[in-house]
Chains A and B, each alone.
Chain A
Amino acid sequence: MSTASSARAADLRAGDPKSSAPASASAKKAGAVASWVDERTGIAKGASFMLKKVFPDHWSFMLGEVAMYSMIICLLTGVFLSLWFIPSAGQIPYEGSYLPLKGITMSEAYSSTLGISFDVRGGLLIRQIHHWAALMFVVSLSVHMFRVFFTGAFRKPREINWVIGTMLSMLALIEGFAGYSLPDDLLSGTGLRAAEGFIRSVPIVGSYVSYMMFGGAFPGEAIIPRLYAVHVLLLPAVLIGLFTAHIILVMVHKHTQYSGPGRTNENVVGFPLMPVYTAKAGGFFFLVFGLLSLISALVTINPIWAYGPYDPSPVTAGSQPDWYMGFADGALRLLPGWLEFELFGFTLSLNVFLGAVLLIPVMYTITGAYPFLERWITGDNREHHILDRPRNVPTRTALGVAAITSYLVLMFAAGNDIIAIRLQMSINDITRAFQVLFFVAPILTFWVSRRICLSLQRHDRDKVLHGRESGTLVRTPDGQYYEVHEELNEFDRWKLVGFESPAPLALPSGKDANGVASKDAKKELRRAKWSKFFFTSRVEPVTPAELAAAHHHGEHEAIETPAGAGAHAIKQAKHD
């Protein structure tokens, strides 16, 4: 059945819809519809290009898919929510069915969010799916970025897509913040209160910008409808636009693939969109949606009814933003107060400005610039479609780990009060420790992860040269024990030797050909120094000559397995 229909689809692609008579009435109808559409759009050309497009298979390629689907689920559930949510800060007495808040004065935004949670049948489910999907969106796109970074998928020709992804990531944070600020509950209102403080810290224009954004004094009645417009219209439009460009570029570039037998820089090995990836990726959408529904059915998220309406005076202990804003909040907790000072009678609050306003754009600028920095260091101008194993580029991997470490230190710092309570420790000590860790931990993790990469590479070399431990212990007549090592077959071996390990650029003198120190020559010197930093610690893949030498060395004492089994036993004395 499926082969018959795909054969017909192939015919249709060939532009000859009449050549094969459809077998059944329904197929005939489908063919007629396809023909009608194609005669008006010429879609068969594009369809034949798309349907046979090949995607390589790997679990890590699904991370971006999770992000894409979470975003779609957010859009879908967001439309539902917009039907009941009232984006107004106008104060009204609550008349809904949640008794503890009956009669209390609150904004229409908060009241309608309570309505979605208690009076719209299934509204709570949609609200919780929306929130969980938003969290999943940020988590999955972050982990997707890690995958892209650590495998070097951002290299030429994909730098633009990396930059687009970086922007998507940053906008996702802002979109999330705008979203969870809308219900106007005590927690989110406290978040907005802090946000107003952040804006005020901007030098020169801060107080004016705050008054413009909030339409006057905080909190005012303007911010909720304005955030709503940003959340449901402006940012989704930008997100969808960038996301579309992201996907189109993936199509243009064709997906990267991991190194493996038969996989080269000039091909893509995998499964075609029709039928395998349609089923797998389409099915995966339902899996992500299903999982989010299950979580939303069982685990409460953001119980706004427990916080009460926003009021500038009360506050709850342990006030924290959603996790993805945690790192900025943590930075605020770590930045010392002496960073606020007077300058010619004006107040400059760097203790707030650095963490709350500058951190996010600076972090994303560095992230977005990374491919260009690495390209400058390596001088590598080739297209790369084969992914690196993270261990095979130790310095990049270590830089990534160091960056994630800094991020995590800040994120955990946002929980300093919770940690203090749970672990019965002094909040002052914890905060001081995080301040020190922010500078020390990235250096440590950089060094440790680079060492781990190098030793994993050496382990790979060892496996190629001496084979895999077979688990078979042999006792020789003279009482010696050894474990039989099985040589890798050529397919498994290729996975371990099919990579490049470039040597650092040779250090130039810093002078040009005439022995005169020039600007360009100095630049080259600087670049060579960076290249040294990047490439000095390295392990080269095993060469055929090295393998032959290892065999030669092993054969003196080896016990040969029967020829034809393909395994070459290599003896290694075991000392007990």
Chain B
Amino acid sequence: MSDPRLPATFENPGLPPHVHRAADTDPRAAKRAERQVASLFTLSILSTIGFVVSYFAVKSDTEAFIPFIGTTNLLNVLLGVFLALALLGIGFGAVHWAKTLMPDEEVVEERHPIRSDDETRAKAVGLLEAGAESAQLNRRPLLKATAGTALGLFALPLGVQLAGSLGNPTKALDELKSTIWDVKDGKPIRLVRDVERTPIKAADVSIGAVFHVLPETIKESHHVLEDKAKAAVLLMRLHPNDFAADDLGKKAKSWGYEGIVAYSKICTHVGCPVGLYEQQTHHLLCPCHQSTFDVTRDCEVIFGPAKRPLPQLKITVDAEGYLVAPQGFAEPVGPSYWERKK
């Protein structure tokens, strides 16, 4: 069937014949292209002037309405648009110049194998060997061993300095376990509202309400953000019948006060604040990775990537009716770490 005279595969036919552009053959087209390129460069020049004028002439707080964009800062828009036109004028001008007036006949450049020829390789190997030989590398094992060791070790001081001075990790395990809820002098710590820092009366917490809470000790804190990052608490009041009837529900209720319960706000997954409370379902949702905790069952994880429930803060009221925490958290708050159970 197949013709034995035909080659097994097609041959590369070589470069196709070159087709001239209008500007190559028609001087008027070339002149037109030149005018177009010059106009683009002129646009750039004018826009640069526009930028400088806007920079000095436009007040920085002027608002302007831009269709499809909305109300926005006029100075930013003018500076940006003029800068853009100044740059685009140059860009389009240069590219249009290249496409219409510069030579468009393709050039062929030969490739050569990347590898060096054998002679060059042999020469390089020879030089290396001769160098090692003249340095007496192999004849003096003592030098070889000591130089190798010295080179292997020289980065150590820098590494020690860096690792040793970045931060003191020895405090890590103690600090990760403790919060400023920990009672020092046996005196229960009042719960205060986040932001206002006022104490909360149990009577002020109506069913369905949720409070962002900090310990009163935050007022004396010298490291407010660091302490807050561990001590933030969410306080909710449920109807006592809303708690599950199982052990988890009973524990949650008993650590609370008349249906008011307090839980660490720091997610046990990677530490985002668990800020979303679904009042109807009594679920707490972390907005970062959607771990969902069931408040009626001691904040057990019912969905999402977290494994552990949010730690509960045991609360009660003091003589004046204010909510207090008689003890700190019973376990470390926040994300897991290797020694969490130790």
Residues of A bordering B, CB below 8 Å: 2, 52-54, 57, 91, 97, 118-119, 121-122, 124-125, 128-129, 157, 190, 193-194, 196-198, 200-220, 222, 252-254, 261-272, 275-276, 279-280, 282-291, 293-294, 296-300, 310-319, 329, 332-342, 345-349, 351-352, 356, 383, 385, 416-417, 427-428, 431, 490-491, 493-494, 497-498, 541-546, 548-549
Contacts and interface: CB of A to CB of B under 8 A. Distances in A.
Q: Which 4 A/B pairs are nearest by Cβ-Cβ distance?
A: A297-B80, A283-B94, A197-B270, A286-B91
A236 B14 CA distance: 45
Contact of B271 (A193, A293, A319): A193
B335 A200 contact: yes
B306 to A, nearest CB: 5
B109 A268 contact: yes
Interface stretch (B129-137, B165-173, B241-249): B165-173
B299 to A, nearest CB: 13
Given A300-B72, A347-B340, A544 B10 contact: yes
27 contacts: A121-B75, A122-B75, A124-B76, A196-B270, A201-B337, A205-B338, A208-B169, A212-B163, A212-B169, A213-B167, A215-B166, A220-B167, A261-B13, A270-B109, A288-B91, A291-B88, A293-B81, A297-B76, A313-B273, A340-B308, A342-B341, A345-B341, A351-B305, A352-B269, A493-B10, A543-B8, A548-B3
Given A215-B167, A294-B80, A333 B305 contact: yes
B301 interface: yes
B81 A294 contact: yes
B111 interface: yes
Contact of A498 (B12, B223, B266): B12
A432 to B, nearest CB: 10
Interface string B184-206: 00000000001000000000000
A193 B229 contact: yes
A416 B269 contact: no
Contact of A200 (B88, B98, B111, B337): B337
Contacts of B75: 121-122
B290 A290 contact: no
Contacts, number: 359
Nearest to A223: B167
A97 B167 contact: no
Interface in B241-295: 265-266, 269-273, 275-276, 287-291
B270 A352 contact: yes
B232 A287 contact: no
Contacts of A280: 94-95, 98-99
Given A287-B92, A383-B113, A329 B271 contact: no
Contacts of B175: 211, 216-217
Given A267-B110, A347-B336, A297 B79 contact: yes
Contacts of B212: 313-314
A312 B173 contact: no
Contacts of B163: 212
Contact of A297 (B8, B83, B168): B83
A312 B85 contact: no
Size category, B interface: 35 or more
Interface string B39-80: 000000000000000010000110000100100110111111
A124 B73 contact: yes
B3 A545 contact: yes
A529 B222 CA distance: 66
Contact of B273 (A203, A205, A314): A314
A329 B288 CA distance: 9
A346 B107 CA distance: 67
B145 interface: no
A342 B107 CA distance: 67
Contacts of A416: 290
Nearest to A53: B109
A276 B335 contact: no
Contacts of B102: 2, 275-276, 279
B16 interface: yes
Contact of A334 (B60, B81, B273, B305): B305
B128 interface: no
Given A194-B288, A332-B289, A286 B90 contact: yes
B270 A194 contact: yes
Given A351-B269, A352-B336, A346 B341 contact: yes
